[in-house]
Amino acid sequence: MAQIVLENISKFYGEATALQDIDLAFTDLVTNAVVGPSGSGKSTLLQLINGLVRPDQGRVFVFGKPIDYQHLPELRLRAGYALQGTGLFPHMTVEANISLLARLAKWDAERIKARTEELMKLVNLPLAYAPRYPHELSGGEQQRVGLCRAMILNPEIFLLDEPFGALDPITRNEIQQEFLHLQRSEARTVILVTHDLREALKLAQRLVVLDRGCVVQHGTSAEILNNPANAFVRSFFESQLEA
Amino acid sequence: MRVLIIVLMTALLFAGGGNAAAGRTVVVGSKHFNEGYILAEVIAQLLEDRGFSVARKFGLGGTLVCFEALKNGQIDVYPEYSGTLATAILKLPRRVSYAELQDTLKRRFDMELLESFGFNNTYAIAVSRKLARQRELMAISDLAKFPRLRVGLSYEFLNRNDGWPGLARTYGLVVRPVGIEHGLAYQAIGEGKLDVTDVYTTDGDIKKFGLVLLEDDKHYFPQYLAAPLVRGRVNGRIIATVGELAGTITDAQMRELNAMVLLEGKSFAEVAHRFLHGAGLVTAQRARVEESKWLTLLSRTVRHLELTFIALLGGMIVAIPFGILAYRVRAISRPVMYTAGLLQTIPSIALLAFMIPLFGIGVLPAIVALFLYSLLPILRNTTAALFSIDPVLKKVSVGMGLTAQQRLRYVELPLAAPTILAGIRTAAVINIGTATLAAFIGAGGLGEPIVTGLALNDTSLILEGAIPAAILAILTEWAFEGLEKGLIPRHLLQRAAE
């Protein structure tokens, strides 16, 4: 069984349908990009996996078991989470932000320091930034800190919700390169939500295309590019790639 | 929880001195007006001379506060007036004899109303000595012969049913009086602009302006005989000692004692000692040295801070958790806020008065009242701060796997801290101001000179309490500013200030 499986999932917000009849097994140890126009349910789908959203119907399997909603923190510690706007804690230094989960897990100080520095080097953050506060960093640097924070416990899966969305093109490109570098050095199952198809094609091996709460196509990038399942997928790709 | 217990224990410890039943110290109380202080000081010094140790709870906020305090055993004795007991406390519809009054108090409240000091502080009609000689005025009934006299009366006396209307009926007076502010009436009579006014029989001003009191020959005015009112359960020796004061002070003497304080600026203690010495009730020179002003100020300030900060600490211990609870459980958020808001609307004096039946007088009820006042600012700021945390940060903290406890401890409370601290700061400053009123229920502090000053109409005495209290409030503001700078990263403070 794959690490992350959605079984017959539906989710409604009042009258509105957010997701409908989703059956999906994400591929382990590669980057799975979830793409689609805004409002198609990408974020909701991602948040099903760490229990931020509970399905109205169906089951979510993570690490081979249905999610136990009574013990979500345990699950979440094994699923790194980063999102747009970084969500860094403004009252903590860079170092404190990155190491928070390790401190809560009662790692010893040396191990925390070593892991923090390792991650900062991995994403090209100067170690001198460790005692600074997030507001003293640029948007790209903050995003890198967010990634480090999500990776501190070396989680088996990685949930990224438009993590590079707010960055300027140059910075975005840099971080994307670092992300690829990261995946090569510590490969893991990544679910990446993005509205940017180019980013998806660059970073992901597999794509999930969503439209109005339904999965319209799921496969490798090449498969979908060469054989769009329907007119929607074709036009979505054309409009995105021409722009 | 342990902290809460420690705080309560501390509060009780401090309040312990107020419980008369606990120790052998005799607690003497007084109302907050000149004569009350003098008589209480007389009682206190007499007891001290006879070897009792005495605690003074002077300047209590009115008849009801004193009476309740005596009933609850918070004080052992205070000077009271027979007329006040009959009308304000017992609410008797008709006039009763002194013996009946004594009986009723004994029966209903187990209190001993001792024999009167000997003077009667009631309403009286006064004229200038010159006019009295010219017209041969001796008694009120003589006034009926002179319908053209200029009569100026205090507004209260003019309108009270047991004031002028009844007096005019009883004596058949046809003269038309005008209303005049009591303080100005003396001056007007002194300058010959007014012939007749109402006074209290023991006013110190009577002597100063050389007035003559007309005899109430038809016994119209009720008697307000001043007497020590003693708790029934005290040692018989105390009753015997205080009883020595029976019949020792005449109306004229009381006027003189009042004048010594009001007009000559002598201290209550000095006036009381002079009287006791002169009456041969005490022989020894007073051994007690007058405390230095600075020491007094220091001890008042310390007490003031005690009241303020124990209450503030209690407020924090209760309001912050309740604020968190109101944030977590939306359903209780409104009831909690409204309750705290309601407490805030109770006028401070009324809240202090409500505390007396529950906690007596002294430090404890004052702390409880201040504690209640500090709840709302802290509570409101706590919930407001928690509710206004950036939703992205909340979502991240949940999504990354923090438990509810960890989120509170590491994310929500630190982010809310600047606003919570601002609430505590508001509460602290409010408390410093409100604590000055605590002197009305015998809690001491910087309110003491203010209360006394109000009774004596002595501005410099009022300032002796008001200025240090204001300085304390400013210092507290500074201290909190420093605390904020120390505890909270600068960039978060700026954000909170925006």
- Tens digit of pLDDT per residue, chain A (243 long)? 889 999 999 999 988 889 999 999 999 999 999 999 888 999 999 999 999 999 999 999 999 999 999 999 999 999 999 888 778 999 999 999 999 999 999 999 999 999 999 999 888 899 999 999 999 999 889 988 998 999 899 899 999 998 887 778 888 888 898 889 888 887 899 999 998 899 999 999 999 999 999 999 999 999 998 999 999 999 988 888 876
Q: pLDDT > 70: what percent of chain B? A: 92
Given CB atoms, is B490 within the 8 Å cutoff of chain A? no
Beta carbons of B355 and B369 less than 8 angstroms apart: yes
- Cβ-Cβ contacts under 8 Å between A and B: the total is 61
Q: Determine the average pLDDT of the residues in B253-272.
A: 88
User: To the nearest whole angstrom, how far is the Cα of B323 from the nearest Cα of chain A?
Assistant: 21
Alpha-carbon distance of A36 to B118, in angstroms, equals 99
pLDDT for res A217 = 93
Q: Is B391 on the interface with A (CB under 8 A)?
A: no
> Nearest-CA distance from A17 to chain B in Å?
22
User: Would you call B393 and A87 a contact, using CB atoms and an 8 Å cutoff?
Assistant: yes
Which residue is it, tokens 């906690």?
A: B359
In this complex, the residue of A81, A100, A104 whose CB is nearest that of residue B399 is A81
pLDDT per residue as tens digits for the range B429-467: 999 999 998 888 878 899 988 888 877 777 888 899 999
Q: Give the Cα separation of B189 and B160 in Å (integer).
A: 22
**Of the ranges B3-12, B158-167, B413-422, which one carries the lowest mean pLDDT score?**
B3-12
Is the pLDDT reported for residue B12 higher than 50? no
- Give which of A84, A88, A89 to mutate to test B binding, by max B Cβ within 10 Å: A89
Tell me what the mean pLDDT of segment B8-19 comes to: 44
pLDDT given at position B404: 92
DSSP B289: P
Lowest-confidence range among A30-44, B95-109, B301-315, B327-341?
B327-341
Q: How far is B400 from chain A (nearest CA, A)?
A: 6
Res. B353: pLDDT tops 80: no
| CA A84 to centroid of chain Cα atoms | 10
Name which residue leads in pLDDT, B185 or A78: A78
Q: At what angle do helices B413-434 and B459-487 cross, to 10 degrees?
A: 170
Contact B273, B45 (CB under 8 A): yes
Average pLDDT value for chain B? 86
Q: What is the pLDDT of residue B20?
A: 40
Highest average pLDDT, of A103-112, A138-147, B142-151, B219-228, comes from A103-112
Q: How many CA atoms lie within 13 A of B118 on its CB side?
A: 13
Give, rounded to a whole angstrom, the gap between the first and last alpha carbons of chain B. 36
Q: For residue B1, what pLDDT band results from cuts at 50, 70 and 90?
A: very low
Closest CA in chain B for residue A49 = B399
The pairs formed by B18-24 with CB atoms below 8 angstroms and a separation of 24 or more are: B18/B57, B18/B74, B18/B360, B18/B361, B18/B362, B18/B363, B18/B364, B18/B442, B19/B73, B19/B74, B19/B360, B19/B362, B20/B55, B20/B73, B20/B74, B20/B75, B20/B76, B20/B231, B21/B73, B21/B233, B24/B52, B24/B53
Contacts of B415 in chain A (CB under 8 A): 89-91
Q: Is the pLDDT of residue B17 over 60?
A: no
Q: Determine the residue of chain A that is closest to B493 in CA distance.
A: A91
Give the residue numbers in A contacting B (CB under 8 Å), as ranges: 47, 50, 52, 72-77, 79-81, 83, 85, 87, 89-91, 100-101, 104, 133, 135, 149-150, 159
pLDDT of amino acid B14: 44
pLDDT top residue among A161 and B186: A161
The CA distances from residue B197 to B169, B174, B218, B290, in Å, are 17, 15, 18, 39
Cβ <8 Å between A90 and B403 = no
Summarize the confidence of residues B463-475 as an average pLDDT: 93
- At B24 the pLDDT is 74
| Predicted pLDDT of residue B290 | 58
Residue A114, number of CB atoms within 10 A of its CB = 12
Of B393, B401, B411, the CB nearest to A73: B401
Whether residue A133 and residue B400 make contact (CB cut-off 8 A), yes or no, is no
DSSP string, B202-261: T-HHHHHTTEEEPB-TT--SPP-BEEEEEETTS-HHHHHHHHTTTT---HHHHHHHHHHH
What pLDDT score was predicted for residue B13? 43
Instruction: Decide if B491 and A101 are in contact by the 8 Å CB cutoff.
Output: no
Average of per-residue pLDDT across B36-50: 92
Model confidence at B22, pLDDT cuts 50, 70, 90, reads very low
Q: What radius of gyration do chain B's Cα atoms show?
A: 28
For A81, the closest chain B residue by CA position comes to: B400
**Chain segment B63-87, per-residue pLDDT in tens:** 888 898 899 888 999 999 998 888 8
Identify all chain A residues contacting B399, using CB atoms and an 8 Å cutoff.
Answer: 47, 50, 52, 76, 81, 83, 159
